[in-house]
Structure 1
Amino acid sequence: MAAAFLAIPCGHAVAEDVARLMLEEIIVTAEKIGAKSIMDTSFSISAMTGEQLEDQGVVSVADAIAGNPGVSSVELFGGSNTVQIRGVSSLFGDATVGYYMDDLPYTQVGQQFVPDMNPYDLERIEVLRGPQGTLYGASSQGGTVRVLTRSPEHNEFEFKANGGISSTSGHGDSWKAQAAINLPLIEDVLSARVVASRVDQAGFIDLPLTGENDYNDSEDESYRAKLLFTPTDNLSIKLTAWHSEVASAVPYADKDYEFSPVFIEFDPAALPLPIPAGVRPVTADDLTNRIEFDLYNLVLEYDFEQVSLYSTTSLIENKQQLDQNVLGAPVLLPIENRTLNQELRLAYTGEGSLSWTAGVFFMDARQEQQVIAGTLLAGLPDPVLTVVADQEKRSTQWAVFGELHYELSDEWTLTLGSRYFEDEREEEDLGALTIAGLNALGFDAKRSQDLDKVTGRVNLAYAPDGDSLYYLNVAQGFRSGVAQQGISLLSAVAAGIAAPEFSESEDLISYELGTKLSFMDDALTLEAALYYLQWDDIITLLGTVDPNSGLPISYAENVGEADAVGVDIGVLYRGVPGLTLQIAANFNSTEYGDDLPLANIADGDTVTQVPEATMSVSAAYQWPLADTGLNGRFYTAYQYTDSRPDYTVGFSTESDSFAVLNARLGVEAEHWSLYLTGENLTDEDGRISLFAQTAIAGVPASRMRPRTLGVEASLRF
């Protein structure tokens, strides 16, 4: 995103600052070797500071990253999304984009979705476009998103708070309240930062069969505390604890913002042969998904002058109740995850033409997952529940990695990187019937597979002067294979299909030519990147019908390949005091290279959930209000996303292209601000995502929140 080049000043700038307003470059740490400006970083990266996000009123990480070239997200469940960058998109297996909360990779074995967090009081969000297999490892095929929280500051008290109310056209009211405090505890040695937020958004979809209106309301509550301890000038210790709870629902609706799901009821007298006896409307409680996580992170940094030591230890515990009660019967998906991570690295940034970083990484991820199906019997209020699948999954990973930067001359720099990675995956089926069936067919209930991978990066950068950078970046990414579910193995064998117990890892390589240019004394900056990528052995969910029973079956196999050609463009203009104009866009052709009839994919089809074009245009203007000591401020952003396809056996879907227009107008003083806000001002009501696997059963598309107007106030001391 072009906005990522430079930081918009924070909201408490006084009027006399406007005439001398200069936007400073954002500094990023994505290369794990120290801080560097985006304009000096020789690959595609963009960033948004916490001040920018707060100035724009952003309450969702998904919304924050949507303006970056080639980045889009799809809401899989209420409060969680899957993210794709540069067309590397899949709805099955591990995520294709690395997602980091501070230094913790938010990893779930065999799961795509990540939490859609409230980005209040962040240091910044960094979006690394293109594969990042060297420094960030598995699942960073398309790129990496880093959500970095603000650290405490010694010897400085700070308090800020933000609140707002809004009303959605034809529907209910929403509100938010969030605050942060920085507490100096021991001069130059110890300080703390505490953040709390609550965002309640009104629903906008009705359930006419139950008479419940605006059922899809959401609650997002989070708390974060961070402690900074610097006992010496060379040693820094940071400890973070983060708790979050989200309850929301996927916004399925028709064009009238109505949703009419039903459960099929069966005649209890006809059992064990089920005979439909009628239907029962699905209620709002049946459609609410709940996600809760606790995150703990310990970071130790020691500076040996020319070499720095960095250690990060993280633990995340996650509980999710994801209900898929939209296909005619109750289906509950309880999931629990526990992930422990450790990364230790050294970085050399001393004098001379050579600098480097090298490290080791360990992760132990465990998951307990069930699929619980319910049968509704006429006359009984509650469903009869059956555990269809009960599994424990584990991924034990370790890796060694490094990158070397060598200045060939004053203008040329060569970067070489590599990573060796091993992953031991285990999956154990716990259901008695599944175990008996697997054993009868010669499979073990507990299955394991060892994966290993070597990836590399070669980067050649040419900077003839301080205003231009040109680079060639060749990088690899990968994604671990996943275990075949026991029930999938059983159904495939029954149909005479030799489904593998485990899918293998995927391979991806990207070739990128890019430039970053500055003109008119930095009043105009330009970023452009042309890329080509080849993605092989794609883990694809295949489906067919058992010729004996007539029942549908599905299983995973490495059968797909795809390639992409695309261009990212970012432009920023700041030649008028107080004015910032930005454009960011991506245009691509990302296509499958095989006919896959069991996935309803043909050679040349666009990869699932990939828009062929995205564009973001924004303008921010700040000006003094006469002699009042106040500033006026206006911000508007227009984002366009092209249509996105999806596929399942015998059926395909395509979402609508859609555009969103947001705006904010306000007044600012040194310690307070007041804004009028508008979201989706054009009242876009198109189908923003449409999943083939649910649409084939009559489930409508997800819809965007209608036009929403509000007022917002902030304080800062």
Structure 2
Amino acid sequence: MASTLPGKLRLGLATALMSSMFAWSAGASAQEGVAVRDTAGPAPIVVTAQRREQVLTEVPQAVQALGGEELQDLGVDQIEDVISLVPSATIGSTISVGSNVFQIRGVAAAETDGDPTIGFYLDNFAFSLPGRPYAPAVDFYDLDRVEVLRGPSGTLYGLGSLGGTIKVLSNNPDLYDTAMSARMTANITDGGEPGGSADVMINVPLAEGTVALRGVASYKTVGGFADNIATGKEDSNDANAFNGRLKLRAEPTDNLMIQLAVWHNRSNQDFSNRITLFDPPILDQTFGIANSRFTLITGDIEYDLGFATLMSTTGYIKNRVVVNNGGFIPGIGDFASFWPLVTKNFNEDLRLASNGTGPLTWIVGFFYQDGSTEGGQSVDLPDFPVGGQLGLATFNDNRLESKSWAVYGDATYGFADGLVDVTVGGRYYEEKRRFDENSSITLTEAGVTVPTVGVDRAKNNTFNPRFNVSIHPAENGMIYGEVAKGFRSGAITSSSIIAGANGALGTNFDNSSPPDTLWNYEAGIKWSFGGVDVALSGYYFDWKDAQIELSPTLQSIVVPVGDIEGKGIDAQISWRTPFSGLSIQAAGNINKTEIKSVIPEVSAALPWLSEGRQLPGTAKRTASIAANYVAPVGNDWDLRISGRYSYRSRQQSVFNGVYAPWNGIGSVRVGFARDDFEVSLFSDNVGNSGRPISRPGGQNQVPYPRTIGIALEKKF
């Protein structure tokens, strides 16, 4: 593909600019504050990317922040839409509405197995599922902001932050004011079923200024659009999801805060997001479900000691995913797959952060995690020939346990009255893993079962340093450079599955993989002038023993296939135009993630995994543009027009080397609003793109077709 943007992309960008306007970066607030909203001019964006409150433009890292009201203006109610606006970030896989895998800057994770390469935080809790790369499904109603850190952030965030970190931060209870809001939407999908959603938020001070409760509930139905030729059912992949969130906050004294929270999600989908054909969208499975749910309970305590603030985040999560499907595979015959997973995880993050602004600021912390994942994929192939007889069945009910602890610290010293800031940080991490295998292979017609029962153990330890220097030649700009190391625990795979894969590939993989490590070298600039904010960063990373998910048989393995080298440029521009109420933002990335070395047997069997090739699952280019226009129309009403367009170049499937073509998706929103009420019309995927987002497992994961709807919101 040529390095210039396709003509359709240029047309799409122009159309998005002319037909719709959307503001992205005006107004995310600190977690402890209230979202800032200022359509007339620049507003400070305060983030906690470095585990302390800082203005976004003063953070010497590649960070993006989107405020809750900006997300609502855009009509963004899921993390996938946020990812489409982040330079270098793409969707790797989405099995269902509750199982998402993302990558940033070409540091791609596996699609179903192995630990993630991107850390995911709900408020201050690390959402981590041992041995699984999934991020949760979270409704975006009543959020404070979303932060996306690009590049390794393992010093301060640890688990899964090899290539970056995503933080979803919800609004805290308001201790003084009673408030309520409700929103309803209704929509219709092109060629599919109708859908809709209902959201409500209630905030009640229980003791004014001291104790308050805030609750949020959301329910969404998503209309199906793929016809199933095996069952004859039209629009068969419909889904629904419930999200609930409850927070109790107490500030009994000026220096003490205690907050308890409960998050709950339940997502159900018929079949999955993976379809057989995409033009038109067709399923050929005889049965299928893709359900997930999680419950998270957290407790946060903050105590101001004067010289520093002591903070503790304690949490427990139980996550359940069930993916069952069956159908017909040419050359193999009928198949049925059953995949239940249950994950439990307890986290404690204790940290002490200095108060004041310097010249020395610091944070030290201790982290502990105790988690397990139980389950596995079982496959039944009744017509598969083995030794002249028919029938093969595999069974997996395995358990992975992970216990880890870490100590970390980060300190910044300002020289020459803040002209130069030097940051040094590090994290020491130890982990023990235990894998209890209970699997079997059955030759159905022969009536022979070969069981595999055993225990594998692994120990991991690492030190992840971070070095950062930032120069502030003017109040409105900075130049920075950073060197940081990322780390991911090694995967442990069933011995029977590894044996089958080794036989198919001619390799000699062990079922326990070594950890992979990544060194990232980055330089960037942030500058503001004349209503324009610019952020540029260039990076290079060296990724050793990269763990990649392969599927040489019908079941997947995660193994270290070799070394990866990546380089690229991120760019973000935000322009508060001279035209009153109009702001525009654009972002883009050029990325080359290249296989530097690979095990010869792997490249021989899977030629798309060869030296010099772009790593499958990663895109060479991403871009987005967004704009917003707000104009008063009288009687306290405003006209609001917003829109966005995102582009991703083609990317290859790691399973079979098939390319998902380039894709561009746009959305528009037009409405009228006043302080307590808003009505708007919207269209998502306005161009009705049906091109696959990715092609996992030889199937097609496609965006939802054009969806047109109406949204109503009332605040009390």
TM-score, scaled to structure 1: 0.87
Amino acid corresponding to residue 615 of structure 2 in structure 1: V
Q: 1:260 to 1:676 in 2, by over 3 A?
A: closer
Counterpart CA distance in 1 for 2:96 and 2:294 is 15
Q: 1:322 Cα deviation (Å)?
A: 1.4
Aligned to 1:86: 105
Equivalent position of 2:120 in the other structure:
99
The answer to whether the Cα contact below 8 Å between 2:150 and 2:165 also exists between their aligned partners in 1 is: yes
Indicate how the Cα distance of structure 1 residues 443 and 8 shifts in structure 2: closer, same or farther if over 3 A, else same: closer
CA contact (8 A) 1:4 1:26 kept: no
1:35-74 to structure 2, matched below 5 A, reads 35-74=53-92
Aligned to 1:577: 580
- Identical aligned residues as a percent: 29
Task: Report the CA distance between 1:557 and its aligned residue.
Answer: 3.4
Q: Which residue of 2 aligns with 1:466?
A: 475
Aligned to 1:279: none
Residues 594-609 of structure 1 mapped to structure 2, 5 A cutoff: 594-595=597-598, 596-600=603-607, 601-609=609-617
- The verdict on how the C-alpha distance between 1:506 and 1:361 changes in structure 2, with shifts beyond 3 A counting, is same
Aligned to 1:612: 620
Q: What residue ranges of structure 2 are gaps of 5+ in the alignment?
A: 1-21, 30-36, 384-390, 443-449
Say which SS state the counterpart of residue 408 (structure 2) adopts. Answer: strand
User: What is the CA-CA distance between 1:120 and the residue it aligns to?
Assistant: 1.2
Query: Deviation string for 1:131-175 (max 9, x for gaps)?
Result: 011011132111000111111011111111111111112222111
Say whether residues 1:321 and 2:322 are aligned partners.
yes
Judge conservation of contact 2:28–2:65 (CA < 8 Å) in 1: no
Structure-to-structure mapping, 1:440-479, within 5 angstroms: 445-479=454-488
Instruction: State the match for 2:523 in structure 1.
Output: 513
Whether the 8 Å contact between 1:483 and 1:503 is mirrored in structure 2 is yes
Q: Structure 2 vs 1, CA of residues 3 and 644 (structure 1 numbering), >3 Å: closer, same or farther?
A: farther
Q: Does 1:147 align with 2:168?
A: yes
Q: Quote the Cα distance in structure 2 between the aligned partners of 1:466 and 1:670.
A: 35
Aligned partner of 1:24 in structure 2 is 43
Aligned partner of 1:7 in structure 2 is 27
1:272 alignment counterpart:
none
User: Do the aligned residues in 2 keep the contact of 1:372 with 1:385 (CA within 8 Å)?
Assistant: no
Contact 2:100-2:134 within 8 A present in 1 as well: yes
Equivalent position of 2:630 in the other structure: 622
> Given the alignment, which residue of 419, 422, 430 partners 1:422?
430
Matches within 5 A, 1:258-277: 258-261=281-284
Structure 1 equivalent of residue 371 of structure 2: 365
Report the Cα offset of residue 581 of structure 1. Answer: 0.4
The alpha-carbon deviation at position 688 of structure 1 amounts to 1.8
What residue in structure 1 maps to residue 354 of structure 2? 348
1:491–1:553 Cα contact (<8 Å) kept: no
Deviation, structure 1 residue 679: 1.0
Within the alignment, does 1:710 sit opposite 2:686 as a pair? Answer: no
The one-letter code sitting in structure 2 at the alignment partner of 1:515 is I
> 1:501-650, aligned counterparts within 5 Å?
501-520=511-530, 523-541=531-549, 555-575=557-577, 576-595=579-598, 596-600=603-607, 601-625=609-633, 627-648=634-655
User: Shift in Å at residue 208 of structure 1?
Assistant: 2.5
Structure 2: distance between partners of 1:529 and 1:3: 22
The Cα offsets for residues 581-638 of structure 1, whole Å up to 9 and x where unpaired, read as 000111111111124334431111111211111111011000010x322110000101
Deviation (angstroms), 1:118: 1.6
CA distance in 1, matches of 2:358, 2:689: 55
Q: Deviations over 1:477-519 (max 9, x none)?
A: 0110011312134446878854324111111011111011000
- Deviation track 1:655-707 (CA, whole Å, cap 9, x = no partner) reads 0111111000000112101101011111111122112xx32xxx4x1222111
**Residue in 2 aligned with 1:179?**
200
- Deviating more after overlay: 291-300 vs 104-113: 104-113
Residues 279-358 of structure 1 mapped to structure 2, 5 A cutoff: 282-283=285-286, 286-325=287-326, 327=329, 328-350=334-356, 352-358=358-364
- What is the CA deviation profile of residues 285-326 of structure 1, one whole-angstrom value per residue up to 9, with x for unaligned ones? x22200010000100000112200000001000111112435
Give the distance between the partners of 2:441 and 2:165, measured in 1 at CA.
40
Q: Is the CA contact 1:5–1:25 (under 8 Å) kept in the aligned structure 2?
A: no
CA spacing shift, 1:597–1:260, aligned 2, 3 Å: same
Match status 1:652 vs 2:657: yes
What residue identity is the alignment partner of 1:449?
A
Q: What is the distance in 2 between the residues matched to 1:404 and 1:705?
A: 46
Contact preservation (8 Å) 2:92, 2:108: no
CA distance in 1, matches of 2:192, 2:549: 39
CA distance in 2, matches of 1:556, 1:172: 38
Give the aligned partner of residue 33 of structure 2: none
Cα RMSD for the two superposed structures: 2.5
Specify whether residues 230 and 8 from structure 1 end up closer, same or farther in structure 2 by C-alpha distance, changes over 3 A only: closer
Structure 2 residue corresponding to 1:483, chosen from 479, 492, 511? 492
Q: CA deviation at 1:90?
A: 2.5
The two structures have a TM-score, normalised by structure 2, of 0.88
Match in the other structure for 1:266? none
* Equivalent residue letter for 1:393: L
Q: Does the Cα contact within 8 Å between 1:308 and 1:347 map onto a contact in 2? A: yes
Equivalent-residue separation in structure 1 for 2:360 and 2:604 (angstroms): 52
SS of 1:647's equivalent? Answer: coil
Mapping for residues 167-206 of structure 1, pairs under 5 Å: 167-206=188-227
Q: Provide the secondary structure at the position in 2 that maps to 1:65.
A: helix
Measured in 1, the distance between the counterparts of 2:317 and 2:342 equals 11
Q: Could you tell me which residue of structure 2 aligns to residue 270 of structure 1?
A: none
Query: Letter of the aligned partner of 1:399 in structure 2?
Result: A
Moved more, 366-375 or 289-298: 366-375
Read off the aligned partner of 2:395 and give its amino acid letter: V
Q: For residue 451 of structure 1, what is the amino acid of its counterpart?
A: N
Aligned pair 1:162/2:170, yes or no? no
CA, structure 1 residues 192+463, in 2 after alignment: closer, same or farther (shift >3 Å)?
Answer: same
Distance in 2 between residues matched to 1:444 and 1:205, nearest whole Å: 41
Corresponding residue for residue 680 of structure 1: 685
Deviation of 1:128 (Å): 0.3
How big is each residue's C-alpha offset from its partner over 1:436-460, in whole Å with a ceiling of 9 and x where there is no partner?
xxxxx99971111111000111000
Spell out the pairing of 1:119-158 with structure 2 (5 A cutoff).
119-158=140-179
Which residue number corresponds to residue 381 of structure 1?
Answer: none
DSSP-derived class of the 1:246 partner: strand
